[in-house]
Amino acid sequence: MATKKPVDYKKAIQSSGFDIYSPIEVGNPRFWIPTRQLEILLNRELSGLDLAGLALRTRSKVVKMAVCEALGYPAPKSFKKTQPRFPGQQLDTYTQKSNNLQIWNEELSPTRRYAIIQLSEQDIVLKIKVVNGQELALLDTTGTITTKYQASLVTGTNTHELVSAQDTPPMLPHVRSGATFAKSTSPADEPESGVLLPIQEIFKRLSALVGLSFADPGMDQERHRGAALHRLICECLGYSRYEDKGQFPDIRHQLLEVKLQTSPTIDLGLVLPSSEERLDIRQLGDHHPRHCDTRYAMFYAKTDGKQVTLTHLFVTTGADFFSRFRRFEGKVSNGKIQIPLPRNFF
């Protein structure tokens, strides 16, 4: 399937007669702008925008009008106080001079996209990064987001467990044993029908990693520790290169979420693996992938502070996740969420 260019989506919206409040189904192949293309459009149109000397309210309106122009929508004379601000694309905008992102009086939504706009000291737009709520929640190291789901991992006598005998039924026409990838293929690319490995094959390929060790960057370096595992997994699956864009699922091209556990508590973010909500991913044929179609590869590991050793592997679909792992009950909300963005966020 040929990937549409960002400008194709903009032109489709321009000719549709839609405004930013017109509802669009997530994943609609004509009018829903995939996150990567959305980010490209916003960077093209907003980079260099001069907001110097503008009052905060005026600045906010100028930014929103520029977003409308970038995406092909007519800018309204006044913007309604909706959540999110751009309901048609499930999009909110946040303009940031500092790396302390603050979200007031609403929970993070896993299906909402957040355009984080980086400003220079002179109030010039430098860069825009678009992430969804699930990905933002993973950046929270302070514990201020109290809406995350969690589950418990109890290891058994088996070091290798394939929880799901096969993929979810809607995914079966799109998986293919022995699929190989071109050198140019990135693990962060959109998934393609016929290039998805069956879950049994993912399990078989990743089983070889159990028993391996790699350097531990430190107890407070979970992201770097996870990146080391992610790199090994990409190699095992047959990719010529490693790439991680901090998206969900981690290896987007295989609809595969990777988890490295050194404790029994599994952080699941804002959405249950068993959810039937659609992912912000393009369709596979007539099927739009859901969270429950996502495959999970979870490694349990031990560390002595110097070396991380992989001891167990669990592979499951989101649909079967809670047949093996016990969900923690309870969910609380926060009035104000503060997320310290990593230095390399943009």
Q: What is the pLDDT of residue 144?
A: 66
- Quick check: helix, strand or coil at residue 124? strand
Asked if 133 and 206 sit in the same domain, the reply is: no
Please tell me whether residues 143 and 153 are part of one structural domain: no
214 assigned to some structural domain: yes
Buried residues in 311-320 as b, exposed as e (16+ CB within 10 A): ebbbbbbbbb
pLDDT, residue 336, reads: 58
Q: Assess whether 29 and 133 both reside in one domain.
A: yes
Tell how far CA 187 is from the center of its chain: 13
In a domain, 261, yes or no: yes
Residue 345 lies in a domain: no
Question: Is 191 in the same domain as 262?
Answer: yes
Q: Which residues contact 53 (CB under 8 A, 6 or more apart)?
A: 123
Q: What percent of the chain has pLDDT over 70?
A: 91
Lowest mean pLDDT among 46-50, 101-105, 161-165: 101-105
Q: Would 135 be classed as within a structural domain?
A: yes
Q: Is residue 48 part of a domain?
A: yes
Question: Angle formed by the axes of helices 35-46 and 6-14, to 10°?
Answer: 80
Same domain, 96 and 214: no
Are 132 and 183 part of one and the same domain? no
Residues 190 and 142 in one domain: no
- pLDDT band at residue 323, thresholds of 50, 70 and 90? very high
State how far the Cα of 330 lies from the Cα of 141, in Å rounded to an integer.
Answer: 20
Are 43 and 128 contained in the same domain?
Answer: yes
With respect to residue 1, please indicate whether it lies within any of the assigned structural domains.
no
pTM of the entire predicted model: 0.69
Cα 101–chain centre separation = 18
Dump pLDDT digits (tens) for 184-239: 999 999 999 999 999 999 999 999 999 999 888 765 456 667 788 999 999 999 99
The span from the CA of 199 to the CA of 175, in Å, is 9
Query: Do residues 138 and 264 share a domain?
Result: no
The answer to whether residues 122 and 182 belong to one domain is: no
pLDDT at 105: 58
139 within domain boundaries? yes
Segment 250-300, tens digit of pLDDT: 999 999 999 999 889 898 877 889 999 888 888 898 899 999 999 999 999
Q: Are residues 140 and 165 in the same domain?
A: no
156 and 143: one domain?
no
Predicted local distance difference test score (pLDDT) of residue 145: 62
Q: Is residue 346 part of a domain?
A: no
Provide the domain limits for residue 309: 149-327
What is the count of structural domains for the chain? 2
Nearest to 18 by CA among 74, 67, 64: 74
Residue 334, pLDDT > 60, answer no
